[in-house]
């Protein structure tokens, strides 16, 4: 509900980039002839004053003029803008223009997702029981309260659910590695990880061998000699057939683990080509992980390393980066808990493993794998690429999605119906 003192007819409309709440500088300039002076210093000061009943109030001071108010409402596809002076349906005041331009600052766009909360306010009081509004001197930040983490907002993109249910991976006996008898030099294997959802990250998780030196009891790796980048580095080691096969899989993984990142102002065709190639590599890597699992699970000397980029996967591994870990050979199955919470529904993702349902660790997201909350360094290889993508989506909101009942019908209901066709639900 809009502020009663601001008639809806006074709102100027600016379209967002499709499927986002992003306003670009280019769009702003298309709808206004106002521009910053090319010469001289023109001071602009803005402050976010309040956010109530979906209405963001911004104070703006141009040069030495008195402060005026700009009123903003974020809808699913466009920005509604009004002002204490001069803004109408067909005209955007210079106060509103400069306020929006200043929000972008040195960038060429501004994302209003932070202020998109349709239907989450009490229309009488203007307050929301679901949200926290953090106010500082000239700024404010809006987020869901901790207990409402994962609130669904209409128009938010939901993951695609494949209608084809993947058969559960058949259990394959894993090896039982023993410590070497006559040497303290050992061939180990490291999960080289990087957050593939972070901008400019440059590789997907892959497995890489390393040579290490064991402690006196041969229970753990005391020091690390080198990463193994080719088979020539292992010419003096006596490898078992299983080790040889696993090394070959590792080399194949590294060849396709690199992520092709978008270049500045890259055209849509080249961008689509890179996205397709990345997805193909992602799918092939998952198949290689499936092949590696029975050769990897049960090994004594396995580690995890967050690499901070492929450029660091060479030479001698940094001991401080190498964390002991293990790989579970069991096949996990995704379950969903569905709860009626009164004015909203809660959808929680869980994992069935070894006959028990487990909550997941959500601090880190390692593609292809799940980590149980009680055993975060024991990696469970997921059953399919679809499971991996679904898990990555839910991990962003601590493996739960909440939807107000007023927002349930439509996209969210379709999403839940698709999940029910593929995965098991437990109603609570």
What average pLDDT does the segment 8-23 reach? 89
Which pLDDT value is given to residue 136?
A: 87
Place 263 in a pLDDT band, splitting at 50, 70 and 90.
Answer: confident
- In terms of pLDDT, which residue wins out, 345 or 88? 345
- Token reading at 190: 């490291």
Distance CA 65, CA 354 (A): 69
Q: What is the pLDDT of residues 108-133, one digit of tens each?
A: 899 999 999 999 999 899 999 999 99
pLDDT tens string 165-211: 888 888 778 888 999 998 999 999 999 999 866 555 689 999 999 99
Among residues of the chain, what percentage have pLDDT more than 70?
96
Structure pTM?
0.88
């Amino acid at each position: 509900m809009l502020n009663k003192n601001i008639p809806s007819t006074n709102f100027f409309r600016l379209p967002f980039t499709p499927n986002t709440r992003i306003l670009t500088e280019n769009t702003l300039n298309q709808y206004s002839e106002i521009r910053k002076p090319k010469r001289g210093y023109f001071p602009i000061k803005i402050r976010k004053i309040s956010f109530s009943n979906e209405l963001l109030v911004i104070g703006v001071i141009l040069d030495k003029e008195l402060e005026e108010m700009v009123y903003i409402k974020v809808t699913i596809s466009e920005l509604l803008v009004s002002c204490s002076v001069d803004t109408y349906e067909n005209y955007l005041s210079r106060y509103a223009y400069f306020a929006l331009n200043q929000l972008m600052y040195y960038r060429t766009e501004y994302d209003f997702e932070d202020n998109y909360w349709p239907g989450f306010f009490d229309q009488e009081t203007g307050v929301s029981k679901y949200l926290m509004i953090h106010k500082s001197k000239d700024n404010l930040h809006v987020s869901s309260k901790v207990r409402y983490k994962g609130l669904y907002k209409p128009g938010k993109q939901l993951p695609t659910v494949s209608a084809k249910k993947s058969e559960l991976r058949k259990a394959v006996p894993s090896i039982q590695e023993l410590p070497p008898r006559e040497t303290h030099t050992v061939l180990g294997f490291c999960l080289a990880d990087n957050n593939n959802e972070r901008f400019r990250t440059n590789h997907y998780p892959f497995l890489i061998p390393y040579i290490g030196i064991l402690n006196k009891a041969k229970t753990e790796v005391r020091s690390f000699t080198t990463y193994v980048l080719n088979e020539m580095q292992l010419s003096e080691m006596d490898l078992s057939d299983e080790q040889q096969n696993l090394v070959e899989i590792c080399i194949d993984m590294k060849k396709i683990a690199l992520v092709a990142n978008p270049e500045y102002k890259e055209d849509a065709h080249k961008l689509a080509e890179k996205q397709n190639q990345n997805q193909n590599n992602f799918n092939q890597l998952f198949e290689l992980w499936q092949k590696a699992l029975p050769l990897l699970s049960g090994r004594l000397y396995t580690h995890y390393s967050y690499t901070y980029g492929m450029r660091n996967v060479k030479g001698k591994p940094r001991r401080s980066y190498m964390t002991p870990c293990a790989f579970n050979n069991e096949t996990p199955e995704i379950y969903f808990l569905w709860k009626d919470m009164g004015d909203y529904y809660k959808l929680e993702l869980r994992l069935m493993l070894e006959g028990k349902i487990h909550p997941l660790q959500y601090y880190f997201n390692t593609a292809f794998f799940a980590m149980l909350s009680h055993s975060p360094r024991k990696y469970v290889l997921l059953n399919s690429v679809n499971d991996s993508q679904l898990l990555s989506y839910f991990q962003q909101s601590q493996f739960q999605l909440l939807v107000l009942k007023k927002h349930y019908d439509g996209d969210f209901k379709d999403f839940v119906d698709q999940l029910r066709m593929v995965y098991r639900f437990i109603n609570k």
